[in-house]
Amino acid sequence: MAALRPGARGAIAAGHPLTAEAGAEILADGGNAFDATIAALWMACVCEPVLASPGGGGFITVQADGRCRVLDFFVTAPRRKRPDYDIEFSEVTVDFGTATQAFHIGAGSTAAPGFVPGLFALHAQLGSLPMRRLVEPAVAAAKAGVAITPLQAYLFTVVAPIYRWTPEAAALFSASGTMPADGETFANPALADALDAIGREGLRIATEGEIAAAMATVSADHGGHLTFDDIAGFAVAMREPLTETLAGRGGGDWRIALNPPPALGGALVTAMLREIAADGADPADPVALARVIEAVDRFWREDPTDPGRLIGTPAAKPSQAAPRGTTHVSVIDADGNAAAATVSNGEGNGRLVPGCGFMLNNMLGEADLNPRGFHGWTPGARLGSMMTPGIATRPDGTMVAFGSGGSNRIRTAILQALLGRCAAGVPLAAAIDAPRLHVESGHLDFEDLFDAGDRERLTDAFVDHRAWPDRNLYFGGVHAVERDARSRLTAAGDPRRGGASRVV
């Protein structure tokens, strides 16, 4: 954790030390929270390539000039479907050690990417430094190479069947015959060139120029739905956040701003907060909390692509749900600007974009939670996501920017961190470090760090359960920053997912 510091320029928390360092460099150079977020996300594409890519998408919740809003640049279903017989769509099995899981990849698993348009939209609205400056740390790191962290080494091991699926991908990610290991240096000069070109030439090269053409070509040549028109026509949406009140200790109640529909995660967190308030459940009681999570999970699964049911208001439905691997960045600067950004590339579709050093997403390869099955998506519609970047504020001026990776566990990771920091009033790092649980389809997973009495009550209440011996990346990775009522800044990265933080 980066400690409370008065007079600091800003604070950042992220899923990799280099991601946090890129944002910190920009803050130190006079950039604002939005500049730092953009630089950090470019860097995430270099040092967290399994989770972040110019070929993916995401969301950024921002607070500026007293207003909170959400930039939605998550992936969109292509505008037309190829015939089933002409689609490249393959199943690969990845090994998590204790379990295996099937993923679907190939050009036919790719939706229209919004990552680059999203960063340029944020820059156009709220950035202060040139984009060329913001991409510099990522370009330098991709050229020189980055040291592989234990988390990234583990992720490379898990997704090895995807990142060796084509000769081109294997040549980049497994040139020595093995995937990048802990401590090894991994360089990606093609990605450095692509990012440098984007920084110099602007958005057009990625949506209408050479990079866009390369993305469209790899799709057209290998059985994908994605076309040049899908890439050029991608539209970033500006949305009003979902807001919910959470009673807090000292300083007044919290206003929680969350990702709205057609995304799913914010609606799920909102529903759980409302259930706790309606039932008078003690959020500090793990059994009561688990029962709330179970109740909302069961209700949601009756119609998993209708977020409106969760919040009691008609809302746009996504084309299909895509609960995939993610990473997160949170930033607050000295002026009180805040950004919470969550992005994903799924696991990657297995095919490198020629000459660019990155994979497009495989968001259309998700079978779970999609009643219509594979290829049942609605052309041109936004996909749904569990990603839930958010900002919590209260009348005394305290502000927390937060979010998490973790696929289906994003909603419960964020819920528990919010309850700890905002409702219970524990320090930010302690709220993130606290043991977590997750209930899905009646099955309880929990970190076996609760006291003996609570553990016994949990296992009695949920006969179908699995105890994890320590904190685990399965339970998400909440990276958060806080500005307190005295304008002091602090940041905390979740150790479960390689969390790193800086205050500058």
User: Percent of the chain at pLDDT above 90?
Assistant: 86
Strands across the sheet containing 437-440? 437-440, 443-447, 465-468
pLDDT at 385 over 70: yes
Q: Phi/psi at 4 (nearest 5 deg)?
A: -55, 130
Q: Are 221 and 161 in contact (CB under 8 A)?
A: no
pLDDT at 372 over 70: no
Give the mean pLDDT of 400-407. 94
Which tens digit of pLDDT belongs to each residue from 447-502? 999 999 999 999 999 999 999 999 999 999 999 999 999 999 999 999 999 999 99
Which tens digit of pLDDT belongs to each residue from 41-68? 999 999 999 999 999 999 999 999 989 9
pLDDT of 369 reads 44
Q: Are 83 and 330 in contact (CB under 8 A)?
A: no
pLDDT of 407 reads 85
The partner residues of 401 in beta bridges, in order of sequence, read 391, 481
Q: How far apart are CA 173 and CA 72, in angstroms?
A: 30
Average pLDDT of the chain to the nearest whole number: 94
Q: How far apart are CA 145 and CA 182, in angstroms?
A: 13
Q: Which of 144, 63, 131 is nearest to 392 (CA)?
A: 63
Which tens digit of pLDDT belongs to each residue from 169-215? 999 999 989 999 999 999 999 999 999 999 999 999 999 999 999 99
What's the pTM value of the predicted model, to 2 decimals?
Answer: 0.96
- Cβ-based burial of 223 (10 A; exposed 0-12, middle 13-18, buried ≥19): middle
Q: How far apart are CA 39 and CA 381, in angstroms?
A: 29
pLDDT at 445 over 50: yes
Q: Phi/psi at 424 (nearest 5 deg)?
A: -85, -20
pLDDT of 413 reads 97
CB neighbourhood size of 368 (10 A): 12
List Cβ neighbours of 89 (8 Å cut-off, separation of 6 or more): 104, 105, 106, 108, 109, 223, 365, 374, 375
pLDDT of 4 reads 59
- Torsion, Cα of 284, 290, 296, 299 (10° steps): -160
Q: Are 274 and 256 in contact (CB under 8 A)?
A: no
Q: How far apart are CA 134 and CA 39, in angstroms?
A: 5
Q: Which of 333, 328, 329 is nearest to 126 (CA)?
A: 333
Q: Which of 449, 440, 443 is nearest to 495 (CA)?
A: 449
pLDDT at 406 over 90: no
**Three-state SS sequence of 21-41:** HHHHHHHHCCCCHHHHHHHHH
Residue 326 annotated to the active site: yes
Q: Phi/psi at 227 (nearest 5 deg)?
A: -125, 170
pLDDT of 81 reads 94
* Helical residues (DSSP H) of 127-209, grouped into ranges: 131-144, 150-158, 160-163, 167-173, 189-201, 204-207
List Cβ neighbours of 280 (8 Å cut-off, separation of 6 or more): none
Q: Are 328 and 16 in contact (CB under 8 A)?
A: no
Q: Which pLDDT band holds residue 322 (cuts at 50, 70, 90)?
A: low
Active-site residue, from 76, 110, 305, 326: 326
Q: Which pLDDT band holds residue 2 (cuts at 50, 70, 90)?
A: low
pLDDT of 371 reads 54
pLDDT of 98 reads 61
